[in-house]
Amino acid sequence: MARRRIGPERAEQGPKPLRPVLLTVAAILLIAAAGLAVVRLVSPHATLRIAEGPPGSPAHRLIISFAAALSQQHPRLVVKPVETSDLTASAQAIETHKADLAIIRSDAAVPANGATIAILRRDVVAVVTSAKSPIEKISDLADKTIGLVEGPLQAYNSAALDVILSFYDIPPQSVRRLVLPLAEVGHAVADRRIGAVLAIGPIGPGDVVDVVAAVKAATRGAPKILAVDEADAINKRFPAFESIDVPAGAFKGRPPTPDDTVTALAVTYRLVAPNSMLDIVAGAIAQSLFAAKTRLMQISPLAAQIEAPDTDDKNPVLPVHPGVAAFLENGAQSFFDKFQEYFYMGGMALSAVGSVVAIVISRFSNRKSREEMGRIERLVGIADEALRTRDLGQLEQLETELAGIVAWFVRTNPGAEGGGFSVGLTHARYAIDRQRRSILREGGRGASEEPA
């Protein structure tokens, strides 16, 4: 009788066991939890991409200073500058999510998805004339030549002039523009090559102060700043412009320019983020900026004008980011502390998931252990039955059962060494083989003793 081999070759092909999959999932979760724990210990890192703006502009200098202050305040915050050639490029960087922060001027290119983090400064839109100029109000600019200071913002300033002229029904093309270096502006006014100068700048050091000084030096008189009595109405039609009261002497102290408080228009420079930025991140950036204001003032006097946006302002142009509004209304809480809380909660959640999986695996393993122990006990039983039987047919049945147990073990424990199972298997196999040889020997002797 041919002997039947007992081993993996007899194993039946079954579905892929669940145990290795669960073990792999558990390992991944444990590794993830360990990684989160390490990050928790060293504190989180974050990267902010900041559009720098036109090189050499006040906005560029301010953003560089703010980036340095942020890095110093939060050493694990990576500030990555994004080069942009002008305000339009900065707005596009926000719209395309290539930058997380940018300085935007409210009347220039405004990103459709932009939201205000902070007001960096308000720039007065000043129309400067000589003391003896016949131009007394904005409507007098029709058919005149206006000077613009040469620089990276000259195109935006010219566009602002177009908007203002349109409010007074003055065709923009009827007002000629002459772009001049600052050094030539005063002489152009004195020579009457231009009737007025449009300058946009802060109350303090900046373009308006420089233009006023140049005109005063060339004309030997205190320049005038044209009042815009319709500023509130212009604001309602063109929300990018605000009404502002310019105090006497704001641009020149002696003699004071203006000589009395005048109402004018202003545009705002704002630190802007995409409105998709997480509220907690936006609030933390605002908090960091306001906390760094004193330090920034030591680097740039313009930082003194940094202010929180009005949370009640319903201006559709660059509305206040909800995260900043929440920070201003509810008080300060460090983003990085809050971020760590979220990280900790996330780690706890992953840990809980890992624990559940571990419990499932443990129960599954216990069930498998009990099942394996039952199979080992059956191997011992097979050995006992084999040693008691004298029937080759019964031995054949026991060998078939043994092959099935081996197939089960190979299928459920691929690549594993049997341990106790191997001992039981060897014992059962030996018992079957021994009893078969014994039966066959006795059968041989009986045949040889029969009479011929």
CA separation for the pair 115, 270 (Å, rounded): 9
- 209 phi and psi angles, rounded to 5 deg: -60, -40
Mean model confidence pLDDT for the chain: 80
Residue 60 has pLDDT above 70, yes or no: yes
> Residue 190 corresponds to which amino acid?
A
**Weakest-pLDDT range from 125-129, 251-255, 406-410:** 406-410
- 18 phi and psi angles, rounded to 5 deg: -80, -30
Residue 90 has pLDDT above 70, yes or no: yes
266, 314 contact by CB (below 8 A) = no
Peptide bond into 258 cis (omega under 30): yes
Q: How many residues does the chain have?
A: 452
CA separation for the pair 229, 248 (Å, rounded): 16
Other CB atoms within 10 Å distance of the CB of residue 377: 11
CA separation for the pair 426, 405 (Å, rounded): 12
In the block, tokens 């691929």 appear at 414
What domains can you pick out in the chain, each with its CATH number?
Answer: 8-33+362-447 (no CATH), 46-333 (3.40.190.10)
- Higher-pLDDT residue of 270 and 451 is 270
- What pLDDT sits at residue 254? 80
Confidence of residue 419 (pLDDT cuts 50, 70, 90): low
- What pLDDT sits at residue 381? 84
Q: Helices 18-42 and 335-388: crossing angle, nearest 10°?
A: 150
67, 81 contact by CB (below 8 A) = yes
Q: How far is CA 435 from CA 270, 405, 438, in A?
A: 94, 20, 5
Q: Three-class SS of residue 212?
A: helix
**Which residue stretches of 310-334 are H helix?**
322-330
Structure-token pair, residue 295: 């330090």
- What pLDDT sits at residue 12? 42
CA separation for the pair 361, 20 (Å, rounded): 10
Nearest to 326 by CA among 367, 284, 291: 284
Total-model pTM: 0.65
Residue 343 has pLDDT above 50, yes or no: no
| 135-175 confidence digits (pLDDT tens) | 999 999 999 999 999 988 999 999 999 999 999 999 999 99
DSSP state at residue 250: S
Taking phi over 0 as left and psi of -120 to 50 as alpha, with beta for the rest, 242 belongs to beta
Confidence of residue 336 (pLDDT cuts 50, 70, 90): very low
- What pLDDT sits at residue 329? 86
Average pLDDT over residues 261-267: 96
Nearest to 29 by CA among 284, 334, 353: 353
- What pLDDT sits at residue 100? 93
- What pLDDT sits at residue 401? 86
Nearest to 270 by CA among 306, 301, 312: 306
Residue 255: partners with Cβ closer than 8 Å, 6 or more residues away = 222
**Which residue stretches of 74-125 are H helix?**
87-95
Q: Three-class SS of residue 370?
A: helix
| 203-213 confidence digits (pLDDT tens) | 888 899 999 99
DSSP state at residue 139: G
97, 46 contact by CB (below 8 A) = no
| 372-412 confidence digits (pLDDT tens) | 777 777 887 888 888 888 888 888 888 888 888 877 777 77
- What pLDDT sits at residue 94? 94
